Structure 1
Amino acid sequence: MLAKQAAPKRAHGAANRVRIVGGRYRSRLLAFPDGTGLRPTPDRVRETLFNWLGQDLAGWRCVDLFAGSGALGFEAASRGAARVLMIERDANAVAALEKNRGALGAAVDIVRADALAWLGGNRETFDLAFVDPPFDSDMAALALAGLAPHIASGGYVYVEQGAETAVPPGFVVHRSGRAGRSHFALLMKE
């Protein structure tokens, strides 16, 4: 008997595409490669997140630590963030991010690096960090453990993973939700 294969990720009937839900690039499709644990944040979850944050991120400094498809980082850029930095270690994903950046004309920076190693050597401060690592990995907890010095006072961290978020010291849960197997939370730095 043949094993059932998972259905390809789709947006508007196209495999391995995700749609930007708001801002300047609204309705544009982003292509991304297949990858183990790569599950872009669904449209309705991104819509909820940016409703929580407010639609206008003008002046915000954002980092997407496990960029993958780039859906979260490109959403932030679409909504006017002053700086968006995407960190991704997979070469195919980085190539797709660069192609999407060019197609959109988005002013985002893309760094090919391991997110945890990059975080350990970084000295920048951000208003918003996206922590959406490969699904069912333990990388969210590892990233959260070292993230506090990189988030401005009153800044936010969005976490998406297969389990509820253990809130690290110095943060409080601002909002949280669940969609299917995904648990997501918006943490605020005290």
Structure 2
Amino acid sequence: MALTLLHRHALEDHILGFETSANPNHLCVARRPVIFSVLAHAGQEQAVGLALEAAPDIAPRFCGPAEWLAVSLTAGSETVAGHLSEISGASVVDQSDGKVLMAISGPSVRKILAKCVGVDLHPQAFAPGHSANMLFGHVAVNLARTGPDAFEIITPRSFAGSVYEDLMEMGREFALTASFSGG
């Protein structure tokens, strides 16, 4: 008898059956993002950071000194692993199955997130391209600004439901909608 493994997203029960047309303020949950942890070896921090910035199909997310998340929504795990293995002075681990990526965008996104994080999200303080680990309510997440009114939140899979519910509650007054991304 062959064993068949099915991928079930951590937010299936939260989103499926509740999807609506996207409002201007919208939360889009990535179905299968590729997310690797990258740690620079001592003395290699700058070289690893520059190599991550130059890697194709990879968006580096700063986590702390000598630590990043390498995120891709376009390349597969093997492709990203191949690019990362070419970076000298770094150790990498695939975290894709243990993380959930949510993208939130819209004209009220900063107001929604301000209810959940204790960080100044003004573009002059947290510009597009910036990312950092922080508390989202009671959960440690990585928050990245991906555009003027767009952010990505990466959370541990086991806390994804809590983060999702908090976001939807904080976005209720702004008619926040949610759906899975295509694919």
Same fold (TM over 0.5): no
| TM-score, structure 2 as length reference | 0.31
Bigger relative contact order (CA 8 A; separation at least 6): 2
Give the TM-score taking structure 1 as reference length: 0.30
